[in-house]
Structure 1
């Protein structure tokens, strides 16, 4: 008998074992892969269900916190050490050099007018003083240009000073040569040179000093800033270590875990060292600023005021009323002299208040006495000049063998006293600033080493607990 096979009609159900099974809903395909992050989280979650797994997690977290504490401490302390080192070795010396540039220029102007008053035969010591001032200002300008960053305000002022200083010295040489010939035009050259000094050179030097002092104060602030991030990281690391030891005690009733105890000691030492070191550094830098730099600034301003007063006193005799003040009645240089002396009095009074020891107060007191004497002698010379007795007024100002008690001698006393006061305050600053820098010595290396020891100790302590489960 023949067997015939009938094909399934279209649309009819297929035969076979799965013929009656319902079709799966949705798209078919292989199951989606889980990401590495998801797998890691899943493994971590699984590990956290057992005590050995939890201990491994705790050990890794403790080591990471201790290392983080050490890294942040190294980063912050390195910044403060760099700033403190800049205060001692870079920004304060640049500020002092800028002040010296100002003083040298003002003193050169004073010496040039003193030499002019002496007549055709300029005294050799006055000439040497002028040349020394110009050479010192030129040398310091070269040094400042080499140590000042490009593009800043200081660079512009240095360029201006370098451009204008030769013009000033050229005018002085013209005034000196004309004066030797006995021509009255020499006084005009000298007055023009003084105008260049007072309106161009000294303002530029003042701006340079202010810019360098501003950078010094910025370095102060950076060096004194408290390391908040490392302090917070240290407290967090210590809290985690204490918690881990308490947890260990509650579960095992063992008081000490030597590894965790060593890690805690290392972190505590770093935090204590950081706190004490920064405290002493702040104290030293604060003393350097208030007891040194602030006094230096006041004394430098006072010395500059005295130099300008002396130059104006000389020019009063040179101009002989040729240049009037704003009121069109008074002598301009005499008015400027009175203004400078007022600034000098105020500066010396403030310097006395800031002086914190006998060595600092003594030269300032001598300067105060010298100023009082200077005023008396200037008044006598001015009275002689106003009476038309120029021949008497001249030696009363510049001095000679018959008039040793001149206003110039009083000025020399004031200038020498202020120079000693500046030297004393500079030493005070250097000592205090170096003490502040020294307080941070070794902290960077010590923090890194102790953090590494603490992390290793934490891992060893947890490892000791894990060995109990083997």
Structure 2
């Protein structure tokens, strides 16, 4: 009796493991496992695709709402500061009480620069400590610059020679301190625009791969069902497959259009915009050197060299834009012609200075007659501004297109994947129920 009990005791675990193994290999359990695998794949697909699309769309919308306007504010800040400095020097060339339009242009430029500081400050991210520090130092030094200019202007009105020394001090503060900070801010914000576009200039491959894997899993699951149940088509799985294939097609079309528009915004918007902004900054630098140099005869050679370097850089940058099929325009040809005309006017000014005719040199530098430096520079700056606005509009239109084509895809992905899960559950349940 004891031996039988012992035998029974030994056989019980063997029977239990065998039953468990047989149960796990049974068709209903395998069907359930396949169903869970497909559902898990669909849920993963929904999460990956939704996160990929929403992240892309959110970044593009942020680019339109904050990053690009901040870059534009930084560019305008630099230009307005440079205009103020060049205009202040122009006032001294006139001698005594400066003309009202020159005074007004200086005041407007300084006020516009202060406005751009405020505009840029309101668009900064909370963790952008570097940009905040740059703006803080610029805003702190602007009143100091304005105060020195007023001291210089007061002395100039009464004919005190020390006025030019104060002008030189103010210009040194602007050229060596304030403008480099503004240029650093512009370079940083312009880089942010390009970086954001480069990040999404390629299609969302991860979402495509996940969707492709999901289609393969669904097809494989249907083949398994067909083999196990001897039925060619499972309506639930077929419906889920059709839905995911349509979603993949939607994703392909939207993703490719979005990436193409983003790439176009980079090639025809951000990159030309950066070069055009650099061109305008170089033009402003050259104009400031031209006018300030005449007020400081002792340091004229230094300003002349700085002017030549700026004009040379301007000509090279415009040449790069003009020879690029994506950025060439008749206005660009006009700008290059104006640079040549400006150089001719500047040479005439220097010839007058070499001949001791300071009044004629001042007239050439500040006069409004056709061909004078002031006239040529004004037309050049207007042409650059128009090109900048055109490039900026192109950039924003393409980014808007890249973001808009993704509208509805996030919600659509959730709905399609949700319906696909329900279809899979329904199709699998109808097969499992046959074994219950």
| TM-score, structure 2 normalization | 0.91
The answer on whether the counterparts of 2:290 and 2:304 sit within 8 Å (CA) in structure 1 is: yes
The separation in 1 between residues aligned to 2:47 and 2:35, in whole angstroms, is: 18
Q: 1:295 to 1:97 in 2, by over 3 A?
A: same
Is 1:161–2:138 an aligned residue pair? Answer: yes
- Aligned pairs for 1:151-230 (under 5 A) are 151-224=128-201, 226-230=203-207
What whole-Å deviation, never above 9, does each CA across 1:172-193 have from its counterpart, x for those lacking one? 1111111111111111111111
Out of 91, 101, 114, the residue aligned to residue 115 of structure 1 is 91
The residue number in structure 2 matching 1:341 is 311
Contact persistence 1:106–1:202 (CA under 8 A): yes
Q: CA deviation at 1:398?
A: 0.9
Unpaired runs of 5+ residues, structure 2, are 7-15
Q: Classify 1:313/1:163 alpha carbon distance in 2 versus 1 (closer, same or farther; 3 Å).
A: same
Q: Distance in 1 between matches of 2:396 and 2:34?
A: 49
- Which structure dedicates a bigger proportion of its chain to helix? 2
Q: Deviation per CA, 1:59-106: give whole Å up to 9, x if none.
A: 122111111111111112111111111222221111111111111111
TM-fit CA distance, 1:236: 2.3
Q: What is the CA–CA distance in structure 2 between the aligned matches of 1:70 and 1:264, rounded to whole Å? A: 14
CA distance in 1, matches of 2:42, 2:314: 57
CA–CA distance in structure 2, aligned partners of residues 212 and 165 of structure 1? 21
Q: Secondary structure at the match of 2:231?
A: coil
Question: What does residue 373 of structure 1 align with?
Answer: 341
User: How many Å apart are 1:252 and its aligned residue?
Assistant: 4.0
Measured in 1, the distance between the counterparts of 2:179 and 2:414 equals 49
**Quick one: structure 1 residues 424 and 264, their matched pair in 2 at CA, closer, same or farther if it must change by over 3 Å?**
same
C-alpha separation between the residues in 2 aligned to 1:43 and 1:91? Answer: 65
Residue from 33, 55, 66 that aligns with 2:42: 66
Work out the CA distance in 1 between the residues paired with 2:79 and 2:18. Answer: 74
Partners of 2:86 and 2:292 within 8 A in 1: no
Counterparts of 2:18 and 2:371 in 1: how far apart (Å)? 96
Contact 1:111 1:126 in 2 (8 A): yes
| Equivalence map 1:69-88=2 (5 Å) | 69-88=45-64
Local SS of the residue matching 1:144: helix
How far apart, CA to CA, are the structure 2 residues paired with 1:442 and 1:45?
Answer: 47
State yes or no: 1:128 paired with 2:104. yes
2:295 alignment partner in structure 1: 318
Taking the aligned partners of 2:346 and 2:30, their CA distance within structure 1 comes to 89
1:343, distance to aligned residue in structure 2 (A): 1.0
Cross-structure match for 1:453: 419
Partner of 1:14: none
Deviation at 1:228, TM superposition (A): 4.1
Aligned to 2:430: 464
Q: Of the two, which has the highest radius of gyration?
A: 1
Deviations 1:211-264 (A, max 9, x none): 212222332243345434433332222111101111222344433211101111
| CA distance 1:452–1:433, shift in 2 (3 Å) | same
Counterpart Cα distance in 2 of 1:177 and 1:42: 105
Separation (CA, whole Å) in 1 of partners of 2:108 and 2:331: 24
Give runs of aligned pairs for residues 13-412 of structure 1, distance below 5 A: 47-149=23-125, 150-224=127-201, 226-320=203-297, 322-323=298-299, 331-354=301-324, 356=326, 361-399=329-367, 403-412=369-378
Q: Measure the CA separation in 2 of the matches of 1:277 and 1:442.
A: 10
CA contact (8 A) 2:87 2:105 kept: yes
Inter-partner Cα distance in structure 2 for 1:229 and 1:427: 31
Given the superposition, is the C-alpha separation of residues 179 and 44 from structure 1 closer, same or farther in structure 2, using an over 3 Å criterion?
A: farther
Q: Which moved more, 1:49-58 or 1:366-375?
A: 49-58
Cα pair 2:46 2:417 within 8 Å, conserved: yes
| 8 A Cα contact 1:153 1:211, kept in partner | no
Determine which of 410, 418, 425 is the counterpart of 1:444: 410
Residue 423 (1) aligns with residue 393 (2) = no
Q: C-alpha distance in 1, partners of 2:235/2:377?
A: 73
* Unpaired segments ≥5 residues, structure 1: 1-16, 25-38, 325-330
Which residue pairs with 1:29 in the alignment? Answer: none
TM-score (norm 1): 0.85
Which has the higher mean CA deviation after the structures are superposed, 426-435 or 44-53? 44-53
